[in-house]
Amino acid sequence: MRLLLVEDDLALQNNLKESLIKSNYSVDVANNGQDGLYQGEEYCYDAAIIDVGLPIIDGISLIKSLRAKNIDYPILILTARDSWQDKVAGLDAGADDYLTKPFQNEELLARLNALIRRSAGQTKPILTNGVLSINSKSFEVTVVDKVISLSSSEYKVLAYLMLHKGDVISKSVLTEHIYDQDFDLDSNVIEVFIRRLRKKLDPDNKFGFIETHRGLGYQLKIVSKND
Amino acid sequence: MIKTTLHNLLNHPQYNSLKFRLIISALLMTFIILPIIGLTLSKAFEQQIVTSVKKELTAYSYSILALAEVEDGKISMPEQLLENQFNVIQSGLYAIISELNIQSNGEYRQLWQSNSLLSMSSPTISISPEVGNHSFSSLTIDDKQHFIFSFSVSFNSNENNVPLTVHIIKNYNDFNGLVNNFEQQLWTWLLILMVLLFLVQGSWLVWTLKPLRVLKSEMMQIEQGKLTELQQKYPLELAQVTQQFNLLLRTERQQRKRYRNALSDLAHSLKTPLAVIQSQQELTRGSNEQLQLINNIINHQLKRAQSAGESAWHTGINVKVVVDKLITTMAKIYFDKGIKFHCTIDSQANFKGDKTDLLEMLGNIIDNACKACNQHIVISVNQLAEKLTISVADDGVGINTDLQINILNRGTRSDTYQEGHGIGLAIVRDLIESYQGQLIIGNSSTLAGAEFTLIFNSK
């Protein structure tokens, strides 16, 4: 999952980025509203975290501008102003949830997780597809109740496919949602991750979780528990 | 005494109005001053007529005297007089010549009378001015009022002076006719004038008071939050007041906004460092608790400082708009819970206060309900006479009595409350107090959970 974090306080920005990366997110940062707007429009994110008090363009205006451009990924606002007036104004502008400063990192991660799942139409923290299930809170992946250990990149690919199960996802989309802008990777790396995922999740090729559509991308087949 | 009565009357709130004053002066003008003018005119006219009657009778007396001849103390008059009214019986104009000196029976001896007096009872005349003088008064003959003009002269006959008095008597018929006619005309026109004046004054009253009526309605709309300032053009006399009033409203609004922004900036600059500290992962539990405490104190004090509850002037806030906004917000925040809101809201319900304060109070109450509920929340807003009642009930587990007492206990420092129902409700309690409102915490009769009822005076 790739996130945009717009926060002008560099100390807070660093701490948040660190903690988000630990939770398997790819994070792009912006220090002010103007950069935030540029990046928010330019790249495909799965969610954005925006501070309300930003230099150049304030958070509320930034959210309004993004929403006016039909950018619809979920937005979580961070605000020091915790009056309901400000909360209502933020959510009215187009944000999906708010968090008042100071907050616990766990709270931020939980809210973010819920927002991303909600935008993909999932309400429970454990995503399942037949015998395959991943816990988006603990990052635990199981196949037929057996825990599978994945690298961070492998988890990101699988989590994205799980959130968009049934959809054909191109390699470039996967790359965009898995790496932040500082990485300049050949999309062929995705093929490597897919191969490794298939090997780890389904060594006997019994379930065939991930299908390749030549020239189009990859698809996580929807299966019910009984299959 | 009238002054005191009027003073007392004007001090009575119902009568202490410009309208009442204008109506009183209009009534005074129409029903007292106009009749007085009428009476004065009528009196003056009567005087005028009487004067002209006197002149007429004086002229008759001279013409009679010119005809009289006295020989040997006896008076002789021609059979017929030039003025025909003296010859026609009961014509209304009579002439009598009597001796000047009084007789032993107390009457004046009559020497001659005009033919017009024939067949009438002889009038008893008791007036006799000195020689060369005249008198003018009234006299009753056959129960009818008559003017009488008497003039005494002295004739010289054979070296003897014969003093006598000529009386010219005229009935009131002509006089009455003229006066009645005049009065009828006068009062008819005065009545028409009164009606016209009354109508003119009525419309003048409506016209003059119109700006005040408009002002009153605009003020009402401001109080109900439908307008932010006075918009109509007002006459010169009011314009200064309305402009100043608008300026005051604007300044107050801007000041409050500036103040709020300053406090918000303060909150921002205090809390971002707190967030930085808290985002460090190696914090101990103790430090975390202290951070939370600092945060609660900042929140509480800033919110108290922002409250506009004590402000003297409040424009009205439509409660429905605020509740609708909050419900949209809550539906986003608690999306996963799929909460169902059941609202019965009086769309005219009006909160006399600050919008931020209302949002804060209802935001906290509804947020608590969202946290506590299973799926259903009932919100009802009623405006009955002078009371605005807002109640929020949920289908959660309810609220225990200890906490109820704790929240309502005025002595408790509200910023020492723990998370959950506490901290939000503490600020709600303080805000309600600053509006002299009332917070009732109980359990819902329809849903199983808690019910919070806020009551405000809307006057």
Residue of A nearest to B367 (CA): A84
User: Two tokens at B127?
Assistant: 């007036």
Q: Quick check: helix, strand or coil at residue B352?
A: strand
Phi, psi of B238 (to 5 degrees): -95, -25
Q: How far is B418 from chain A, CA to nearest CA, in Å?
A: 16
Domain A126-220, CATH: 1.10.10.10
For A124, name the nearest residue in chain B, comparing CA atoms only: B336
Task: Identify the weakest region by mean pLDDT among A167-171, B7-11, B239-243.
Answer: B7-11
Question: pLDDT value at position B37?
Answer: 92
Distance of CA B5 to the CA centre of its chain: 17
Distance, CA of B400 to CA of B414 (rounded, Å): 18
Rounded distance, CA B266 to CA B381, Å?
Answer: 35
Shortest distance between the Cα of B328 and any Cα of chain A, in A, equals: 8
How far is C-alpha B201 from the chain's CA centre? 14
Residues 6 or more apart whose Cβ sits within 8 Å of residue B55: none
Return the higher-pLDDT residue of B104 and B292: B292
Tell me whether B283 touches chain A (CB under 8 Å): no
d(CA B108, CA B164): 10
For chain B, the maximum distance between any two Cα atoms, rounded to a whole number of angstroms, is: 158
Name the interface residues of A facing B (CB cutoff 8 Å).
9, 11-12, 15-16, 19, 53, 78, 80-88, 91-92, 96-98, 100-105, 114, 118, 123
Provide the token pair at B416.
Answer: 């020492």
Would you call the peptide bond into A102 cis, given omega within 30 degrees of 0 as the criterion? yes
Q: In what order do the strands lie in the sheet with A126-129?
A: A126-129, A132-135, A141-143, A146-148
Domain(s) of CATH 1.10.10.10: residues in chain A: 126-220
Q: Where in chain A is the domain with CATH 3.40.50.2300?
A: 2-119
Chain A environment of B359 (Cβ under 8 Å)? 83-85, 88
Q: By the CB < 8 Å criterion, does B285 face chain A?
A: no
Could you write out the DSSP letters of every residue in B359-370? HHHHHHHHHHHH
For B153, the token pair is: 């002269």
- Of residues A9, A80, A85, nearest to B360 (C-beta): A85
Buried b (16+ CB within 10 A) or exposed e, B13-33: eeeeeeeeeeeeebeeebeee
pTM: 0.63
Superfamily holding A2-119: Response regulator (3.40.50.2300)
Dist. CA B369–CA B443, nearest whole Å: 12
Which domains occur in chain B, in start order? 68-171 (no CATH), 228-306 (no CATH), 314-457 (3.30.565.10)
Cα–Cα distance, B151 to B59 (Å, whole number): 11
ipTM of the complex as predicted: 0.74
The pLDDT profile of chain A, 227 residues, written as one tens digit per residue, is: 889 999 988 888 988 998 898 888 889 999 999 999 999 988 888 899 999 888 899 899 999 999 998 888 999 999 887 788 888 888 889 899 988 888 888 888 888 988 888 887 776 778 888 888 888 778 888 888 888 888 888 888 888 888 888 888 888 888 888 877 666 666 677 888 888 888 888 888 887 788 888 888 888 888 765 54
Checking B143-151 for CB contacts under 8 A at 24+ apart, the result is B144/B171, B144/B172, B145/B171, B145/B172, B146/B170, B146/B171, B146/B172, B147/B50, B147/B53, B147/B54, B147/B57, B147/B171, B147/B172, B147/B175, B149/B54, B149/B57, B149/B58, B149/B60, B149/B61, B150/B125, B151/B58, B151/B61, B151/B65
**3-class secondary-structure state, position B71:** strand
Give strand pairing partners of B352: B316
DSSP string, A166-199: TSEE-HHHHHHHHS-TT----THHHHHHHHHHHH
pLDDT, tens only, B58-114: 999 999 888 888 877 778 888 888 888 888 888 889 998 888 776 666 667 788 888
* Interchain contact, B276 vs A53, CB within 8 Å: no
Nearest Cα of chain A lies from the Cα of B288 at a distance, in angstroms, of 9
Taking each helix axis from N to C end, the angle separating B401-408 and B421-434, rounded to the nearest 10 degrees, works out to 40
